[in-house]
Structure 1
Amino acid sequence: METEVAIVGAGPAGLSAAVAASEAGCRVTIVDAYARPGGQYYKQMPGEFHPRRPETLYHDFSQAQQLFAKLDDHARVQVLSGTTVWTVQAASTPGDPVTLYLNTGAGSVGLRAEKVILAPGAYDRVLPFPGWDLPGVMTMGAAQTLVKSQRVLPGLRVVLSGSGPFLLPVAAGLAQAGAQVVAVYEATTPLQWARHAPRVWNHWDKLREGGDYVQLLRKQGVPLQFGRAVIRASGDERVQHITVARLSADWQPIAGSEEQREVDAVCIGYGFVPSLELSSLLGCTHRYDPVQATFVVQHDADMQSSRAGVFVAGEITGIGGSAVAMPQGTLAGLAVARQLGRLSESAAQRKMAPYRKALRHRQAFAVLLQYLFRLRPGWLSWMTPETLVCRCEEVPFQQIEAAIKDDHARDVKTVKALTRCGMGLCQGRVCGPSVAAITAALTGQDPAQLGALMGRPIVKPITLGALCDTSH
């Protein structure tokens, strides 16, 4: 298979890039793992489902429908849904095509593309605590997917614990779907936000959106409590009880503040971690962002990475939500069209100008949110020696601690080799950020110098039959 522009990810960034590139005359192929376009943000229900009020599925319903309609209008756009990129082969010389190896479910096929736009999104960040591996404890993204795509509740008595704006829409969605949301626990406090209030006055649309969610939760009788977190979960076959504690400014549990709640589901989320597997395989340059506590892909003003012909958009450039992802995707699509000769330099710059302006405005707000809801180091004290950090390989905190203190591991790669952290099915996606934080704390080093638990050349599960398929 061949295409001019391959886009990985059909969320807001990928869809915006596809529309911009195809409208300029490029042939575009979108590859996405979900059954229907939209990504996690614009998650569509299966075609067999016919909701009476589809506009309640997500906040920007009309905007999503406009994107979907534009895609349908372009014969130059091919959407490969239910398809994963399991590895990539970078161009041997600048200007040569990049080859994406796809798992379509029926086998493996190679897709050669003159230009690639990576918009794979991100996944939930979870902070380990005793009992987080019990059935019924899940990420907020998983809970939202259950409700959005299948109208299935994760439980009947649900609590949410974490930090960041994502708490509100997930809690509201669960309440609207019929769950009893016992409480929403936000680890930060309004007092910590107060001195930054003047910086939000020019972002009324986002403030209004947050206010709408808060009002909905109040109408549903859902308590929103600040400066608290779930620090322990317990149960026989699945989660049945949680321990909630008030937190100090650096997220240390305050002694004597613990209280027990009876639940059957816990949704956890402390922001997001960019999906960097493909950008790493392609050799893109990454930088460590200390506020977001993660690596992100470096790029220029046109969203091109350090690898010629490889562009990036959305969360892999830094967590900013759809408001940032969409103009980034449009800029990437226009830049690709210019490189392919479908737009002149002057026409491209004219089209890019309003999106650059919108991006500057929206990124300012995203950077503020990143700072306000940043991780505090006290969360490390939530773990006991027996707390699992890597669930795939069942590696507890004490084993990582021993690798560092007794075996003198000084980077995450060595910790991985000594403990098997990150060698399981998720390839370190879940435990990697926690392992890096633990290693930095116990060695006193800058996290930027420790590296990351990068995945293997095969970035997604694939059958041996597909691996041996020579159809590409």
Structure 2
Amino acid sequence: MTERAHLAVLGAGPAGLAGALAATARGVRVTLVDAAERAGGQFYRQPARALGARRPEALHHQWKTWERLRDGIDRHIAAGHITHLTDHHVWCVVRESGTFAVHALRGPDQDEGVAVRADAVLLATGGYERVLPFPGWTLPGVVTAGGAQAMLKGGLVLPGRRVVVGGTGPLLLPVATGLAAAGARVAALVEAADPGAVLRRTPALAAEPGKLAEAAWYAGQLVRHKVRMLARHTVLEAHGTDRLEAVTVAALDREGRIRTGSARRIPCDTLAVGHGMLPHTDLAETLGCALTGTDVRVDHEQRTDVPGVWAAGETTGIGGAALALAEGHIAGRSIAARLRGTSPDPRSWAAAARARTRQRAFFAALEAVYAPPPGWADRITDDTVVCRCEEVTAGQVRTAAGKLGAGDLRTAKLLTRAGMGWCQGRMCAPAVAGLTGCPLTPGRRPFARPVPLGVLAALPED
């Protein structure tokens, strides 16, 4: 199947939906390609239709914004202006003579190849969770914070009955309150960040009063559900034989060191843990887009340095749904103008640009507050598995960096196989970087996901 489209939007989260609507409203035909069965991304993740959820809005805030996006997309699909390809997993984007070929795998088995051809591409591929290892993190019952939220939003199921939510980052608040409201006993919210660091950045944070009000609401929900908040604490170890039975947490001093005598054991059957987010940049890397650190670099129109390629949302830097909506709107307007051969007028997206500036400043302040605590890598024991795919331990990584002289992630990968497995380092790269002292640099790959050889063999020779 080959379909011609003016614009291919990759990802149907807030940024992709906003970009598709903005472009379509200005006469651009859009193909919206997404791996999920329903639009919304992680932020607006919807329960499967077969579950018959009566009140899905109970699992979300900003529901009215979602309804506006959903209804707009549905209208344009009905009118034939937008083609929505669900359950399509993009593995490569190739530039061909001024146009682009978006290659995807279709269906649950991902064994059928699909090509979408477009004049322009909007990368709205979102982000993924960073989870730093600790002893016991591979036990059944230890899940990522976003994974626990996805189970609740998408499957209407709880990951467990007695839950500890731990790590660092703004995501922990909605996860803890969502699980508690759904009936889980949240024994503790273990947050490594220092509350004093938040107060020191009050001027930057106060520029977004709506966000502060949202945080205050979450705090009230924690009190209502009697969730114990352990600020400036960290999870030291997960305990259990066949599955999780308890976690040990401890307090941190201002330098991120464990306070002597502060360790305590909390019984639980589930640990939902996360240490912030990282951008999905795989497709941008295959196209040769420049990165700034781990973020796709864009200009004021959300254009990358590759002609015909725009990027918006978490892939340009972690910043939440409101920032993704603003960036997607700007990108969609820019794309529509550029495809018509005209120069876009930045005044047409002035409000979105102001929102983008405020949100970027807000999340830059949050990033400093919610950085993983210093010294976390020193607390990982040598026998702790770091790369789960290849079962590489922290001791093996330390040996590669120390005795064998690995000075970058690629060398550490070659010496230990850390990052050679199914996830291609998405889970273990932050830990390997911390253990070796190497910078966390994305590795450019020709494919963004595993591809059946039969799909590759069926491609045209050109």
Give the TM-score taking structure 1 as reference length.
Answer: 0.93
* Residue 469 of structure 1, CA deviation: 3.4
* Correspondence for 1:467 among 436, 456, 462: 456
Residue aligning to 2:428 = 431
Q: What amino acid is aligned across from residue 397 of structure 1 in structure 2?
A: A
* Correspondence for 1:10 among 5, 9, 12: 12
**Secondary structure, in 3 states, of the residue corresponding to 1:240?**
strand
Report Cα offsets for 1:380-432 as digits up to 9, x if no partner.
12200111111111100110111111111111100000100111111111011
* Residue 458 of structure 1, CA deviation: 2.5
* Residue 200 of structure 1, CA deviation: 2.3
Q: What amino acid is aligned across from residue 411 of structure 2 in structure 1?
A: T
Aligned runs of 1:52-201 on 2, under 5 Å?
A: 52-74=54-76, 75-91=80-96, 96-105=98-107, 107-201=112-206
Q: Distance in 2 between matches of 1:267 and 1:54?
A: 22
Aligned residues: 453
Q: Distance in 2 between matches of 1:299 and 1:416?
A: 30
**Secondary structure, in 3 states, of the residue corresponding to 2:244?**
coil
Q: Is the 8 A contact 2:47 2:56 kept in 1?
A: no
1:226 aligns with 2:231: yes
Q: What amino acid is aligned across from residue 62 of structure 2 in structure 1?
A: D
More deviation, 407-416/251-260: 251-260
Task: List gaps (5 residues or longer) in structure 2.
Answer: none
**Secondary structure, in 3 states, of the residue corresponding to 2:50?**
coil
* Correspondence for 1:354 among 351, 375, 388: 351
Q: Distance in 1 between matches of 2:427 and 2:304?
A: 25
* Residue 455 of structure 1, CA deviation: 5.9
* Residue 208 of structure 1, CA deviation: 1.0
**Secondary structure, in 3 states, of the residue corresponding to 1:377?**
coil
Q: Distance in 1 between matches of 2:305 and 2:334?
A: 14
Q: Distance in 1 between matches of 2:441 and 2:216?
A: 39
Aligned runs of 1:232-247 on 2, under 5 Å?
A: 232-247=237-252
Q: What amino acid is aligned across from residue 329 of structure 1 in structure 2?
A: G
Residue aligning to 1:287 = 292
Identical-residue share of aligned pairs (%): 40
Residue aligning to 1:35 = 37
Residue aligning to 1:291 = none
Q: Distance in 1 between matches of 2:148 and 2:142?
A: 10
Q: Distance in 1 between matches of 2:435 and 2:422?
A: 21
Task: List gaps (5 residues or longer) in structure 1.
Answer: 289-294
Q: Is the 8 A contact 1:109 1:471 kept in 2?
A: no
* Residue 249 of structure 1, CA deviation: 2.4
1:451 aligns with 2:441: yes
Q: Distance in 2 between matches of 1:33 and 1:155?
A: 27
**Secondary structure, in 3 states, of the residue corresponding to 1:33?**
coil
Residue aligning to 1:22 = 24
More deviation, 332-341/101-110: 101-110
Residue aligning to 2:256 = 251
Q: What amino acid is aligned across from residue 282 of structure 1 in structure 2?
A: L
Aligned runs of 1:315-464 on 2, under 5 Å?
A: 315-341=314-340, 344-345=342-343, 348-440=345-437, 447=439, 451-452=441-442, 454=443, 456-464=445-453
Q: Is the 8 A contact 1:129 1:231 kept in 2?
A: yes
Q: Is the 8 A contact 1:253 1:382 kept in 2?
A: no
Give the TM-score taking structure 2 as reference length.
Answer: 0.95
Report Cα offsets for 1:208-250 as digits up to 9, x if no partner.
1111111112111111110111110111111111110111223
Q: Is the 8 A contact 1:84 1:104 kept in 2?
A: yes
Aligned runs of 1:200-219 on 2, under 5 Å?
A: 200-219=205-224
Q: Distance in 2 between matches of 1:158 and 1:7?
A: 37
Q: Distance in 1 between matches of 2:347 and 2:30?
A: 22
Q: Distance in 2 between matches of 1:123 and 1:186?
A: 19
* Residue 370 of structure 1, CA deviation: 1.1
* Residue 24 of structure 1, CA deviation: 0.5
**Secondary structure, in 3 states, of the residue corresponding to 2:407?**
coil
Q: Distance in 1 between matches of 2:42 and 2:143?
A: 16
Q: What amino acid is aligned across from residue 275 of structure 1 in structure 2?
A: H
More deviation, 53-62/4-13: 53-62
Q: What amino acid is aligned across from residue 198 of structure 2 in structure 1?
A: W
* Residue 51 of structure 1, CA deviation: 2.6
* Residue 252 of structure 1, CA deviation: 2.3
Q: Is the 8 A contact 2:7 2:119 kept in 1?
A: yes
Q: Distance in 1 between matches of 2:215 and 2:36?
A: 27
RMSD in angstroms over aligned alpha carbons?
A: 1.6
More deviation, 192-201/417-426: 192-201
